[in-house]
Structure 1
Amino acid sequence: MPARFKDIALDAVDHQALADWWCAALGYRRSDELYPRDDGWTRPAAWPTPIVDPAGSGPLIWINPVAEQKSVKNRMHLDVYGDCEELVELGAIVMRRRGAEIDWDVLADPEGNEFCVFQPE
């Protein structure tokens, strides 16, 4: 086995705001809030921000600060179960609606990272 899955990473110009957005969208929490350190150390705001599923079933997601805006289509993306309209109300942008050709919605987070939304099972 040459590799095994570890985490997911998303880039963002405003990584703190995008971490908050994905926490609201997925019900995640910032790792440092969920698992504070005993020694009082806090992660510097300029560092990447890890967010986690408090139920422990979803992957760890790192929201990484970058200087440049997203400029081309993602080559890799997230697939989620959810409500498209609720995600749009949170600030997602509709890229493509489900229809005759596809059975999912394609949205983008506030920084333009595309993701697919499937109806909950």
Structure 2
Amino acid sequence: MTVARFKDLCVDVASPSEMAAFWGRVIGLTTPADNPGVLVGDVPEKTIWMCRVPEPKIVKNRVHLDVHTGAVANLQAAGATIQSDEQRWTVLTDPEGGEFCGFVRDTDPAYRLMELVVDSTDPERQARWWAGVVGGDVASTPDAPWYWLENVPGLPFPYWVFVPVPEAKTVKNRIHWDVTAPALQPVMDAGATLLRPRDGEIGWHVCADPEGNEFCVFLPA
């Protein structure tokens, strides 16, 4: 039995309106006229908040997005910079230096967010932990070291991937996800850590998963 449901994504940025415009072009989302710092789609779960922070990016992003594209040139035209070409994907950076990967397809779909990717010291454990929190099926292949979730209720992209890295998390992630839950305690009982409780300044609880990845828990009003 799951204890929470995926809500939306958040990206730490220096310039919310500029980064929302960039990611809107890359993913295929729009910004409301009254809020240029957020992206919205045809369902609430496609929402991506651009959160202004004072600190710059200093290390490789531990969480990144993978996107579909008809051509890497389309991502460059949107404002991305190529970092390296791999066999199946191209590593790029957004205008503020955040890494993401582009996968070239025969057609360029209207909505292009393919998956959320999380660096992990123990990918299988992380995948199974999150499956227990938000649901979905844990999948893997014998010849690959990563694990992923699919069929996650409400997830607005096909896959949530956990890939192996040797280094542990050292700084706050610049991309995080929010969840909704009927109550906080079942999330804590699953193994989350409470970093900051809901208070007069914020209307949600800031938590961390077993490897320290931040996520926010929204409870009923």
Shorter-chain TM band: 0.7 to 0.9
For residues 41-56 of structure 1, what are the structure 2 equivalents within 5 Å?
42-43=34-35, 49-53=37-41, 55-56=42-43
Segments of structure 1 that go 5 or more residues without pairing to the other structure are: 34-41
| Residues 1:120 and 2:120 aligned together | no
Aligned to 1:39: none
CA distance in 1, matches of 2:75, 2:60: 20
Normalized against structure 1, the TM-score is what? Answer: 0.74
CA distance in 2, matches of 1:8, 1:57: 11
CA distance in 2, matches of 1:6, 1:95: 31
Q: Percent identity?
A: 36
Equivalent residue in structure 2 for 1:70, among 57, 70, 74: 57
| 1:35-82 superposed Cα distances (whole Å, 9 cap, x missing partner) | xxxxxxx45x7xxx22012x4497211111011211111111111101
- Paired residue type of 1:74: N
CA distance in 1, matches of 2:86, 2:26: 19
Residues 9 and 47 in structure 2, CA contact (< 8 A), matched pair in contact too? yes
Specify which structure has the bigger relative contact order, considering alpha-carbon pairs within 8 angstroms and separated by 6 or more residues: 1
> Cα gap change, 1:2/1:56 in structure 2, threshold over 3 Å: closer, same or farther?
closer
Normalized against structure 2, the TM-score is what? Answer: 0.43
**Aligned to 1:5, what secondary structure does the other structure show?**
strand
Q: Highest Rg: 1 or 2? A: 2
For residues 24-63 of structure 1, what are the structure 2 equivalents within 5 Å?
24-30=25-31, 32-33=32-33, 42-43=34-35, 49-53=37-41, 55-56=42-43, 59-63=46-50
- Paired residue type of 1:120: R
> Cα gap change, 1:87/1:28 in structure 2, threshold over 3 Å: closer, same or farther?
same
Residues 8 and 44 in structure 2, CA contact (< 8 A), matched pair in contact too? no
**Aligned to 2:46, what secondary structure does the other structure show?**
coil
Alignment: residue pair count:
104
Q: Where is the strand percentage greater, Structure 1 or Structure 2?
A: 2
Segments of structure 2 that go 5 or more residues without pairing to the other structure are: 107-221
Aligned to 1:38: none
